[in-house]
A and B are shown apart, each in its own frame.
Chain A
């Protein structure tokens, strides 16, 4: 009877293992990691992930096999003998301390260069686009720097702030304000200046393998570069839509922003969208249109209530 439970336990664990392995290999596109569009360091982050998975996976399987074996072998249905009392095995304990320590040291070493690329400010490339993101309960407010619009604002504007840090602290008249949408273009080197107006949040771009806690009182820089695009902008309707899927593509290209630090009752719905246009002119067309919308001095016509 006990042996039956041990076998059942073993079978369930084996099933989980098989499913996970399948998800990461055969069904990678639907169940694997989110699509990786990060240039420069995206590949390395995923490699580190798989490296750590290999190590921990090995030890996980080893431990579970030993456990199931022990459950099976030592499950006694008749009370026959006393258990034997054993204590310690110095060699074994030395081995299972030193080997994992060595593995951890190796992992710490292996990740240094990737960490540098992502986090060290001296390694940031010169940005082509700077966005100021303010997290608050429970949404992301983005502020984009836009050019003066000669059609709608033909006067002389205040000189642009010289340093982007200054721009992060004090807004400019021409800035475009949005909520929960990050727009950029393929291949742009983007710098994000992250602030929070209340509690700790964490700006998480899963497809760019990038996550940064937003701390009250601090303006924290982060950078990324996309190597794929997913959106088109139609200047006539003013809508940004996802591009149609190519032949054989299964990933719906819905790239997300998420909050990765519990920040209160609305943390789960603090989501946003990442729109990456194909070229810089596409992005600029969107920016110009949005700026025009935000400088509007006209009442838009009354829309009929859509009741269909």
Chain B
């Protein structure tokens, strides 16, 4: 019955209780940034501590399963121990402390911090190239805020694909730090001021745009088509920034461990300028097929599909079936350039990660997919035949009769014979 307190004490409780009710309202201040806050300004990109994958094990060493969820680090660590794989790792802990400090200093000077990212090569002409590519300060700052909100959870702070969710996804989110990408439409054979790009080609802005808008079908990468065009452009620039920073760190760390020719800042600067040029010239030189007319009628299409099938299965031309066992239905996992396990696509399913348009398939077959050791084919006519074949492959009725018999045999057990094993 008694309230338990003398009257004076009861009155003193009132202000405290009122304060407790009203203070949370103060948190509503700063509401404008509540949806899209930037990184804390004191935050810095950490130097990488995980091993660098220099050479993955040979892709002839096959595994029936991918690694279990969350086992990405173990999978990478296993690389040197795989017999006959000739895989090589480099350990960043072997960096001399002096080199490490120089590298950190250079990276911070040139690439800024997460809240204020920049790309600042010393040469003016190269700086202009970077600006043309969309790597100016304002775009990058906006891109960094968007990245923090939309991408960080999977792709990680430095773009290492090891955000909180990253290692649990199969396939893993892209690790930008080696400057390698799968779905590229730049021409490896184009003549640029730095020679032919070949395996050093980079994705065009258009490729990254398509990845964002369409998503990567069949993986956890969603479509971001609901963002505005400006937001997408900002994100693309920021991803390019992360890739540039990552690649400079990757290459210089490796060189510093094995032995540098010059000091760290000089080597890094030279590399940065080369990389910016590669991005720029890749962007300006897409694969442009000279012929792009579809087959004129049904009989021509069937002939094209037949030829495509022959190329696909022939050891001399594509030899596609050597990796895409049984047209992908029995493909096994092997290491890719990022040290994770991946397998060639099952092409009997109409799910294409790099895009489903005929031109996207053309890019894959003509340019190849460099980090996965998928070779390209320069003969355009052959490539279009293979594209027509791949497009028809999932739909039994669209294949010529004898191809259909071989791909979808009526008798179970013939599949093993076709896989060549």
Give A79 to B2 CA distance when docked, in angstroms.
6
- Mask of B215-236 contacts with A, CB within 8 angstroms, 1/0: 1010010110110011001001
Count of residues in B whose CB is under 8 Å from the partner chain = 58
Instruction: Check: A296 CB closer than 8 A to any chain B CB.
Output: yes
Instruction: Check: B382 CB closer than 8 A to any chain A CB.
Output: no
Instruction: Check: A88 CB closer than 8 A to any chain B CB.
Output: no
Known: A139-B215, A155-B297, A265-B165. A179 touches B223 (CB 8 A): yes
> Is the Cβ of B134 less than 8 Å from the Cβ of A305?
yes
Known: A297-B292, A297-B362. A155 touches B225 (CB 8 A): no
Main secondary structure of the interface of A (DSSP, over half): loop
Q: Which of A80, A155, A156 has the most CB of B within 10 A?
A: A155
Q: For residue B349, which residue of chain A has the nearest CB?
A: A171
Chain A residues with CB under 8 Å of B230's CB are 306
> Is the Cβ of B357 less than 8 Å from the Cβ of A299?
no
Chain A residues with CB under 8 Å of B237's CB are 305
B102-149: which residues lie under 8 A (CB-CB) from chain A? Answer: 131-134, 136, 138-139
B220-261: which residues lie under 8 A (CB-CB) from chain A? Answer: 220, 222-223, 225-226, 229-230, 233, 236-237
Chain A residues with CB under 8 Å of B350's CB are 171
Give A120 to B255 CA distance when docked, in angstroms.
68
Closest CB-CB distance, A20 to chain B, in whole Å?
20
- Mask of B1-24 contacts with A, CB within 8 angstroms, 1/0: 111000000100000000000000
Give A128 to B397 CA distance when docked, in angstroms.
26
Known: A138-B222, A273-B226. A297 touches B359 (CB 8 A): yes
- Mask of A276-303 contacts with B, CB within 8 angstroms, 1/0: 0000000000000000011111111011
Chain A residues with CB under 8 Å of B286's CB are 299, 302
Closest CB-CB distance, A237 to chain B, in whole Å?
12
Chain A residues with CB under 8 Å of B288's CB are 299
> Is the Cβ of A154 less than 8 Å from the Cβ of B132?
no
- Mask of A158-188 contacts with B, CB within 8 angstroms, 1/0: 1100000000000111000101110000000
Closest CB-CB distance, B119 to chain A, in whole Å?
13
Chain A residues with CB under 8 Å of B139's CB are 305, 307
Known: A299-B185, A305-B205. A155 touches B153 (CB 8 A): no
Instruction: Check: B294 CB closer than 8 A to any chain A CB.
Output: yes
Q: For residue A266, which residue of chain B has the nearest CB?
A: B222
Instruction: Check: A63 CB closer than 8 A to any chain B CB.
Output: no
Give A266 to B220 CA distance when docked, in angstroms.
10
Q: Which of A153, A180, A304 contacts B225 (CB 8 A)?
A: A180
Known: A173-B391, A297-B292, A307-B131. A76 touches B1 (CB 8 A): yes
> Is the Cβ of B10 less than 8 Å from the Cβ of A1?
yes
Residues of chain A having any CB pair with chain B under 8 Å: 1, 76-77, 79-80, 82, 137-139, 141, 152-159, 171-173, 177, 179-181, 265-266, 271-273, 293-300, 302-307
The 10 closest A-B pairs by CB, nearest first: A305-B134, A79-B1, A158-B397, A179-B223, A297-B292, A155-B298, A139-B222, A156-B298, A155-B301, A299-B286
| A and B contact pairs by CB, cutoff 8 A, 6 listed | A80-B1, A266-B222, A271-B226, A295-B357, A297-B357, A303-B206
